[in-house]
Structures are given as C-alpha cells and as structure tokens.
Chains A and B, each alone.
Chain A
Amino acid sequence: MSRTTVAEAISRIPDPEIPVISIADLGILRDVSVDEDARTVVATITPTYSGCPAMEAIADRIRWEADAHGYRSEVVTQLSPAWTTDWMTAAGREALARFGIAPPGPSAEGGGPSRGPVSVQLQRHVVACPHCGSDDTTEIAHFGSTACKALRRCDACREPFDEFKAI
C-alpha cells in the first residue's frame, strides 16, 4: 500500500464526539510520518482540552487504521504548541455548520499575565445561528455538552444550538 493510503486513512478518521469532522480538519492531527521500509507510522496528535476524553478513542482508532494497513504504529501526544480552533480547516468549519454546530470565530489569543479584569457579560460576540443564519443569538451556558462547546439559543428561530468555542 502506498504512503498516501495509510496517511490518508488516518487523516480521515472522524472525531468520536462530532463524527462529521475528521481529526485532520479539526486540527488535532499534527503530523503523520510513514516509514515504508520499516512499515511504521508515527502519528502526532494534540488534545483540544487537557481532559478531553476522546483522545484515547482517537489514539486507538489510529492504531487500528495503521494495523489494518499493515503498519506498526506509534501515537505521540503533543501538548505544545497548544491546540487552537484557528487550526480548524475551512472544510471542517462548513461540516460543523451543516451539522448544526456554530463554528468557532477567530481565537482571541492573549496569554500574558493579568491583563486586568475580564469583562463580565453573557453575550460578547456575534454568533450566527447554524439553522436559520440569524445573528440574533444568545449564550445560554458557557459550557455545553462537551468542554469544547458552549450552548446558545437563536432568538429568531428559537432553536438551541451548540457553538464551538474559540480558544
């Protein structure tokens, strides 16, 4: 089997929590190195959140894919540089929106120590409803069904929806 086959198979692995998006489109697959002579694959992944429980399922699936293609594999988890939603591909964002999850906006990367008090407000940026497209939406909860999502409500079509948080 050619290099692209196993590498592609790994890059197409769906996220276990949001199966409409692949781990490559999500930006958590950082590297796939294939050694054809040794028949080995080294895949580097980075977690979305420190405690993301999907990481082990993803690592298992990578090993399974490599095995199915006849490669021995190693999965390396890399924390740095920390994952950011800015790494999500355009295709991934579209898939999220089609699935009913508002894709993340650009991350407001700070990182420095103490930049004064954070603003305390419920609605701090414009998020379009993935169902009807209206900008008239309100955050219901900072933390949604998973760590990477917030819960919002569309005030036009009245549907609740998940928003992928920009980090």
Chain B
Amino acid sequence: MTEVAAQASPAAYVLGLADDAMVYAQRLAEWMSNAPQIEEDMALGNIALDLLGQARALYPHVGTLDGTGRSEDDFAMVRDERDWRNVHLVEQERGDFGQEMARLLWFATYQRELYAALLASSDPVLAGVAGKALKEVRYHLDHAALWVVRLGDGTEESHTRMQAALDSVLPYLPELFFDDEASVAAAESGIGVLPSSLHEAVTTHVAAVCQEATLDLHAPTWRARGGRAGIHSKPMGYLLAEMQHIARSHPGATW
C-alpha cells in the first residue's frame, strides 16, 4: 500500500534525499562499539545522529508534498524495499574503517554541495533543512578528510588499505550524480538541484583530499544503478529487516 509518489514528482526527489540520510544513519550507527577507538564510536554515532535528524525533518515534508500525510515512522519503519529511493552507496555493508572514511568523504562532500545549492530552493522547508544540515555536514567532511589523509599518507600498510578502500566505493559514485526523472522535475520546479550539476565540485574537492593523502582516484570499472527507482542491492533487505523489525512486530507501539 505504500506506493511511492509518482516517480517524476518533487516528492519523490525529496524522498530520495531523506532515504539517503536515513539509510546511511543506520549504517554509521553500526559502528557504535565497533570503531577502532572510542572517540570514533562517538564521532560516527554523532554523524549518524545528524543524518537521522535530517531524515526526520524531511520525511513529514514528503508526506505533505505527496498528499498522503505520512509520518516519519510511516516512511522509515513500514516501507518495503522497493519503495526506498536511496542510492546503493549508503546501503552497502560496513567494511573496514578505511572504507567507511572513503564512503563518508564522498557522501559528505556530496551533501555539502547539495545542501549549499538547496539553500536557494523555492521550497522553504527544504531550504531550512539545508541551512541547518550544511553546518553539520562540514564537520562530517572535515572528519572524513582528516582520516583519509592520515591513513593514505601514513604507513605502507595504511596507505595500501586506504587506496583499496577508495577504489571499493568508486562504482557507487555515479549514481549520486545521476539525473533521474524526479530530480529533473524537482530542478525544473525550482525545488531541487540537478545531481549532475554537483559532480564537478564534489570530485574536485575529493581529488584535492586524495592528492594530500597521496592516493590515486581511478575511474570505476562498473557502475551501480537503480537505487532511485527502488531497485536495491542484496544488503538492503538485511538492513531494513534489522531496522524495521521492532516497529513491524509491534505495530503502533509507543513508549
């Protein structure tokens, strides 16, 4: 029953942004008690919380835009896999710490450019969320960049692993900059921005960090796709099962 709003609607566009934040918040939260040092447990937990907050602000707005009036819990806790519009990058399983920093570097850089552009959105809610989130995302980006440089320009072992980490996320990046129907519609109406318009600035920034980290940026050999249309990779189902099972086992429960 949870039909996604028409694929080409601004609501679907905002839902994609919210789902990216929600799913990545879930993945980052998995680091709690698993990070290499306790400060990283806290840092990644805090970053996850920021992303969760962004998703919570965006979901009710999607419910308003698509006219269903759905709540944040309706979106996060009872939607099936095919109704999620997040990119594959954020749903991938947690790898080693270097892989997480590579993913965070790209994602935070993308979000910084995205939110900076959305400050000019004709949708006041979206512009408001962007203004708030932009301040937070700068810290995420700074944090990831710091680790990528430290590991890349570190020991032979850390350099090798950081390079491998960087290579491992490459196939998931083009999807972030793909202009699907929803983003085209959102950009035309002045609500959103074309993902492809962010590509150059994001890549330039990541390349500068990589240069300082003595790492090479390669071209991907294959490309993930389909997330914005609800077609996900294998880890997504497991992620949703863990994230949603309490809410689904006890529908309507509050505490």
Knowing A113-B113, A114-B116, say if A142 contacts B53 (CB, 8 Å). no
B59 shortest CB reach to chain A, Å? 12
Digitize A88-101: 1 where CB-to-B-CB distance is under 8 Å, 0 elsewhere.
00000000000000
Chain B nearest Cβ from A152, distance in angstroms? 12
Q: Give complex CA distance A143, B139 in Å.
A: 9
Q: B139-173 CB contact bits vs A (8 Å, 1 = yes)?
A: 10111011001000000000000000000000000
Q: Which residues of B contact A83 (CB under 8 A)?
A: 132
What is the distance, in angstroms, from B124's C-beta to the closest C-beta of chain A? 7
Question: Which B residues touch A141, using CB under 8 A?
Answer: 39, 42-43
The answer to whether the Cβ of B4 comes within 8 Å of any Cβ in the partner chain is no
* 9-residue interface stretch from A1-9, A17-25, A35-43, A116-124: A116-124
Q: Which of B79-87, B174-182, B204-212 forms part of the interface with chain A? A: B204-212
Stretch at the interface among B44-52, B62-70, B92-100, B224-232: B44-52
- Given A52-B53, A145-B42, verify A47-B132 contact (CB < 8 Å): yes
| Residue in A110, A111, A116, A122 whose CB lies within 8 Å of B146 | A122
> How many of chain A's residues have a CB under 8 angstroms from any CB in B?
34
Check A147–B201 contact: CB distance below 8 A: no
For the complex, is B78 an interface residue (Cβ under 8 Å from A)?
no
A140 near B39: Cβ-Cβ < 8 Å: yes
Give CA–CA (A49, B136) in the complex, Å.
7
Which residues of the other chain, A, contact B56 by a CB distance below 8 angstroms? 50-51
Return the contact of B116 from the options A47, A78, A112, A142 (Cβ within 8 A). Answer: A112
The residue that B209 contacts in the complex, of A110, A112, A113, A117, with Cβ under 8 A, is A117
Residues of B within 8 A of A140 (CB): 39
Also in contact, A81 and B46, with CB within 8 A (given A47-B53, A114-B116): no
- Asked whether B46 lies within 8 Å of A146 as measured between CB atoms, the reply is yes
Report whether A49 and B53 are in contact in the complex, using a CB–CB cutoff of 8 Å: yes
Q: In this assembly, does A167 line the interface, its C-beta being within 8 Å of a C-beta of chain B?
A: yes
Q: For B124, what are the chain A residues with a Cβ–Cβ distance below 8 Å?
A: 80
One digit per residue, 1 when the CB lies within 8 angstroms of any chain B CB and 0 when it does not, for chain A 129-167 equals 000000000001111111100010000000000000101
Query: How many angstroms between the C-alpha atoms of A81 and B124 in the bound complex?
Result: 11
B245 close to chain A: CB less than 8 A: no
Chain B residues touching A, range: 35 or more
Q: Number of contacts between A and B (CB, 8 Å)?
A: 111
Taking the closest CB of chain A, its distance from the CB of B150, in whole angstroms, is: 9
Q: A50-B56, A118-B142, A145-B42 are in contact. Are A80 and B131 (CB under 8 A)?
A: yes
Are B119 and A111 within 8 A (Cβ)?
Answer: yes
Contact with A along B23-53 (1 / 0, CB 8 A): 0000000000000000100110111111111
Docked CA distance A84–B138 (Å): 14
For the complex, what is the distance from the CA of A49 to the CA of B53, rounded to whole Å? 8
- Residues on A with beta carbons closer than 8 Å to the beta carbon of B53: 47, 49-52
The answer to whether B201 touches A50 (Cβ under 8 A) is: no
B47 contacts which of A84, A122, A143 (Cβ < 8 Å)?
A143
Q: Are B141 and A118 in contact (CB under 8 A)?
A: yes
Looking at the assembled complex, report how far the CB atom of A111 sits from the nearest CB atom of chain B, in whole angstroms: 6
Contact A79–B131 (Cβ < 8 Å): yes
Check if B57 is an interface residue, CB within 8 A of chain A: yes
Q: Is the CB of A80 within 8 A of B117?
A: no
CB-based nearest B residue for A142: B143
CA distance A111 to B208 in the complex (A): 20
Q: Answer whether A49 and B50 are a contact pair too, CB < 8 Å, given A118-B138, A141-B43, A144-B42.
A: yes
Chain A, Cβ-Cβ closest to B131:
A82
* Chain B residue, CB-CB nearest to A140: B39
Does B54 count as interface, using CB distance less than 8 angstroms? yes
3 A-B pairs closest in CB distance: A50-B53, A51-B53, A80-B128
Q: List 5 A-B contacts (CB under 8 A).
A: A50-B132, A114-B116, A122-B146, A143-B42, A146-B46
Given contacts A122-B146, A142-B139, 4 further A-B contacts (CB under 8 A): A51-B48, A114-B112, A117-B209, A165-B139
